[in-house]
């Protein structure tokens, strides 16, 4: 007899025994519900096929006790918030600037842009210079100072959706990094200003604060940790995540468009020279305004107000004012402290594109 293990019975430990078929009379035909062998019924075969199909199609049943243990192990391995924040701060240490930890993409990009800026005078046209000045204002004042800095990093105002999209795009086209990376780094700077962990403090050297800090590599894990710690309010924004994924395409694409429109003059002036001038005017805020200038307020860092940086950086040079009152939308607190970006914010508010603007001044300066 043939032993068949069937899944149709609850007691799967007992085999099902198919009895030998009774002898057939001579000349009779085998019933259609029997197999040719006469030892397994057709119904039994269908049952076996059904069982096999179920095993193939149904997902396996997980051992919940094992899954729970694995989850507990993963949870115990997860760093605490304080530990992760400490790692983020440590990632900005000047000691990390070593050959094996250099961001070669950033270094290569900066080298290429500065080379292009040096070549720009040999391709001079007034049209190209005018385009460079216009794009410098659009990307540096509107994109960086208004968008990245006062809107994203400090939430000093709110923008309607079309304006939010276009202003963040202007910041992306500046070539100063993605919106999330810029805002997160700036919040680290305010949290650790002129202390250990400040991404770009002159206490670690003027060249470090101006330029060298950019060349330390931060991998995706470092960036995501920084986003969790310093920009959790921004990290899930789909527009900002889109720019995070496509940042390089926008920057390289914009240079390609400039070349297609105006050839080498427009590429070198409105692309390379414009970006390099914007880079250094922004970097002077990190370096020069923590070294020279006057102070309206006593703060825990070395921030200063420096008039010529304020002119180059569209109001950002009133840096001591900003560190004393970082949430204020205006950086100039004295009547002579001209803040060009503030006037752009006022215009957007008049047009209904900006709202909930923190336009306060300290009580001593309100008059």
pLDDT in tens, 267-279: 999 999 999 999 9
281 & 157 share domain: yes
40 & 179 share domain: no
Structure tokens at 265: 């003059």
Residue 94 lies in a domain: no
Backbone phi, then psi, for 154, in 5-degree steps? -115, -5
123 & 220 share domain: yes
Residue range(s) defining the domain that contains residue 35: 2-56
Residue 77 lies in a domain: no
Residue 138 lies in a domain: yes
198 & 282 share domain: yes
Residue 68 lies in a domain: no
Residue 43 lies in a domain: yes
Residue 111 lies in a domain: yes
C-alpha angle with apex 48: 32 to 24, nearest 5 degrees?
30
Q: What is the C-alpha separation between 340 and 333, in angstroms, rounded? A: 13
How far CA 29 is from CA of 20, 22, 33, 40, 323, in Å, comes to: 17, 13, 11, 16, 100
Parallel, antiparallel or unpaired: strands 158-159 and 2-4 = unpaired
9 & 145 share domain: no
Of 56, 73, 90, which closes a domain?
A: 56
Rounded to the nearest angstrom, the gap between the alpha carbon of residue 30 and the centroid of all alpha carbons in its chain is 74
Lowest mean pLDDT among 27-31, 121-125, 209-213, 240-244: 27-31
354 & 214 share domain: yes
pLDDT at 79: 77
Buried b (16+ CB within 10 A) or exposed e, 170-183: bbbbbbbbbbbbbb
CA pseudo-torsion sign 254, 226, 93, 286? positive
215 & 342 share domain: yes
Our count of domains for the chain comes to: 2
pLDDT at 71: 46
Q: What is the C-alpha separation between 238 and 7, in angstroms, rounded? A: 50
132 & 272 share domain: yes
27 & 123 share domain: no
pLDDT digits (tens, 9 = 90+) for 189-213: 999 999 999 999 999 999 999 999 9
| Residues ≥6 apart with Cβ < 8 Å to 353 | 159, 160, 162, 163
pLDDT at 334: 95
42 & 136 share domain: no
Lowest mean pLDDT among 72-81, 179-188, 225-234: 72-81
Residue 84 lies in a domain: no
In this predicted structure, the answer to whether residue 215 has a pLDDT above a threshold of 90 is yes
In this predicted structure, the answer to whether residue 126 has a pLDDT above a threshold of 90 is yes
Residue 322 lies in a domain: yes
pLDDT digits (tens, 9 = 90+) for 26-41: 444 444 334 344 444 4
Confidence category of residue 68, pLDDT binned at 50, 70, 90: very low
Q: What is the C-alpha separation between 285 and 257, in angstroms, rounded? A: 30
């Amino acid at each position: 007899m043939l032993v068949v293990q069937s899944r149709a019975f609850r007691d799967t430990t007992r085999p099902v025994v198919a009895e030998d078929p009774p002898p057939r009379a001579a000349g009779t035909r085998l019933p259609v519900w029997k197999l040719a062998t006469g030892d397994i019924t057709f119904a039994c075969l269908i049952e076996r096929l059904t069982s096999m199909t179920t095993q193939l199609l149904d997902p396996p049943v997980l051992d919940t006790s094992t899954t729970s243990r694995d989850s507990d192990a993963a949870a115990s391995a997860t760093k605490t918030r304080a530990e992760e924040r400490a790692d983020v701060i440590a990632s900005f240490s000047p000691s990390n600037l070593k050959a094996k930890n250099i961001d070669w993409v950033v270094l290569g990009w900066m080298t290429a842009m500065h080379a292009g800026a040096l070549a720009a005078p040999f391709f001079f046209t007034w049209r190209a210079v005018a385009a460079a000045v216009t794009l410098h204002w659009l990307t540096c004042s509107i994109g960086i100072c208004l968008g990245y800095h006062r809107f994203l990093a400090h939430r000093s105002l709110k923008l309607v959706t079309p304006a939010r999209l276009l202003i963040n795009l202007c910041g992306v086209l500046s070539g100063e990094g993605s919106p999330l990376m810029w805002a997160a780094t700036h919040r680290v700077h305010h949290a650790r200003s002129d202390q250990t962990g400040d991404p770009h403090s002159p206490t670690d050297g003027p060249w470090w604060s101006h330029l060298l800090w950019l060349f330390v590599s931060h991998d995706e894990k470092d960036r995501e940790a920084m986003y969790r710690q310093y920009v959790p309010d921004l990290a899930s924004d789909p527009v900002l995540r889109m720019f995070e994924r496509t940042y390089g395409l926008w920057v390289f694409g914009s240079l390609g468009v400039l070349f297609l429109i105006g050839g080498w003059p427009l590429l070198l002036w409105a692309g390379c020279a414009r970006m390099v001038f914007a880079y250094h005017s922004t970097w002077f805020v990190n370096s020069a305004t923590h070294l020279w200038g006057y102070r309206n307020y006593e703060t825990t860092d070395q921030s200063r107000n420096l008039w010529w940086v304020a002119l180059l950086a569209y109001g950002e040079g009133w840096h001591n004012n900003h560190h004393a009152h970082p949430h204020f939308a205006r950086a100039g607190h004295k009547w002579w402290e001209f803040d060009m970006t503030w006037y752009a914010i006022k215009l957007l508010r008049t047009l209904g594109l900006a709202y909930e603007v923190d336009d306060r001044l300290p009580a001593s300066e309100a008059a």
